[in-house]
Amino acid sequence: MDADRLRERRLPVLLDAVKAAGFVGVNVTYPFKQDIIPLLDALDPEAKEVGAVNTVVISDDGRATGFNFDRRGWRNAFAEVFGVDAAKDANVVIVGAGGAGRAVSCALMDLGVATLVIADREATRAQTLCAEFAAHFGAARVRVSDDLAHDVALADGVVNATQTGMRGFPGNPVPISALNGKQWAADVIYTPIDTDFIKAASATGCRTMSGDGMCIHQAVEAFRQFTGVTPDLPGLRNAFAAGLTTREGSA
């Protein structure tokens, strides 16, 4: 449901429509991953820890429960592309402290980063996430960026977890001149697959990861919740690739 194209785009109305239509659940994306939480009847513990929801499961009696599978989706994709140890004891900069940024930040902590440096154009949002993580993971492991270019230059890895670079939101929030080609660079966006950030990082020699793997891996968990069936991962990859081909052909 493209909320920006609907006459009545208020989130409560959309959720009510989903329930009335008999959906067993929905995925939730930008910009609703945090806004939807007050509308739900229950939160899975992992979603509560992340502070964002990307999947809502609706029971037969209409109760809506929020889950967050972006965290494990991104973590599994990262392990596939870079290896599970690529973030261990690393210094990582994440740009974006919204719903996706929260999930990826948790995934990075799961992977054992030494220091997570958070940047967001809304300073209070970065500070809020930093304070929550400091309380949960330890103050020594997280801080807010006070000089993004400087922090990127010293980082082992950089993540774009903002909407910037998505179709309709052009640009690149990462100072590319600060990349040195020895880092890994990851994006959560898959529309398009290769954002300006990923293209620029690749051109400097960085190893890169686009957002398609996160999308596919979170879909495994969502599908399991919706159907009770564990889907075939190669089959999901093929479906994603086919959809991508169709989308890019009509773009």
63: domain CATH number is 3.40.50.10860
Is residue 232 domain-resident? no
Q: Are residues 115 and 168 in the same domain?
A: yes
State residue 95's pLDDT score: 98
Q: Are residues 120 and 172 in the same domain?
A: yes
| Final residue belonging to a domain, choices 68, 89, 119 | 68
Residue-wise burial string across 120-135, b where 16 or more C-beta atoms lie within 10 A, e elsewhere: beeeebbebbbebbee
Bridge partners of 117, per DSSP, are 93, 143
Percent of the chain with pLDDT over 70: 100
Q: Are residues 61 and 103 in the same domain?
A: no
For residue 33, indicate whether it is catalytic.
yes
Q: Are residues 136 and 173 in the same domain?
A: yes
State residue 251's pLDDT score: 63
Inform me whether the pLDDT recorded for 16 exceeds 90.
yes
State residue 93's pLDDT score: 98
State residue 3's pLDDT score: 83
Question: Regarding predicted confidence, which is higher, 30 or 79?
Answer: 79
Residue-wise burial string across 32-64, b where 16 or more C-beta atoms lie within 10 A, e elsewhere: bbbebbebbeebbeebeebbbbbbbbbeeeeeb
Domains contained in the chain, number: 2
Q: Name the token pair of 68.
A: 């967050």
Is residue 208 domain-resident? yes
Q: How do residues 71-118 score in pLDDT, each as one tens digit?
A: 999 999 999 999 999 999 999 999 999 999 999 999 999 999 999 999
CATH code for position 88: 3.40.50.720
Average pLDDT for the chain? 95
**Is the pTM higher than 0.85?**
yes
Name every residue whose Cβ is closer than 8 Å to that of residue 59 and which is 6 or more positions away in sequence. Answer: 65
91 vs 182: CA distance, rounded Å: 13
Q: Are residues 79 and 188 in the same domain?
A: yes
Q: Are residues 107 and 199 in the same domain?
A: yes
| Final residue belonging to a domain, choices 41, 68, 95 | 68
Domain range for residue 114? 71-212
Q: Are residues 144 and 131 in the same domain?
A: yes
Degrees (nearest 5) of the Cα angle 55, 59, 62? 100
Is residue 246 domain-resident? no
Choose, from 33, 48, 88, 199, the residue flagged as catalytic: 33
Please state the rounded mean pLDDT for residues 17-45.
95
| DSSP codes of every residue in 127-150 | HHHHHHHHHHH-GGGEEE-S-HHH
- DSSP 3-state assignment of 171? coil
Q: How do residues 156-206 score in pLDDT, each as one tens digit?
A: 999 999 999 999 999 999 999 999 999 999 999 999 999 999 999 999 999
Q: Are residues 50 and 81 in the same domain?
A: no
- DSSP 3-state assignment of 92? strand
91 vs 77: CA distance, rounded Å: 19
Helix (H) or strand (E) holding 60: none
State residue 19's pLDDT score: 95
Q: Are residues 204 and 86 in the same domain?
A: yes
Q: Are residues 64 and 112 in the same domain?
A: no
Is residue 247 domain-resident? no
At which residue do the structure tokens 């400091």 appear?
134
Q: Are residues 84 and 28 in the same domain?
A: no
Strand order in the sheet with 184-187: 142-144, 115-119, 91-95, 157-160, 184-187, 207-209
Bridge partners of 65, per DSSP, are 42, 57
Helix %, strand %, coil % for the chain, to 5? 45, 15, 35
The pLDDT-based confidence of 4 (bands split at 50, 70, 90) is confident
Please state the rounded mean pLDDT for residues 118-122.
97
Q: Are residues 196 and 96 in the same domain?
A: yes
Is residue 237 domain-resident? no
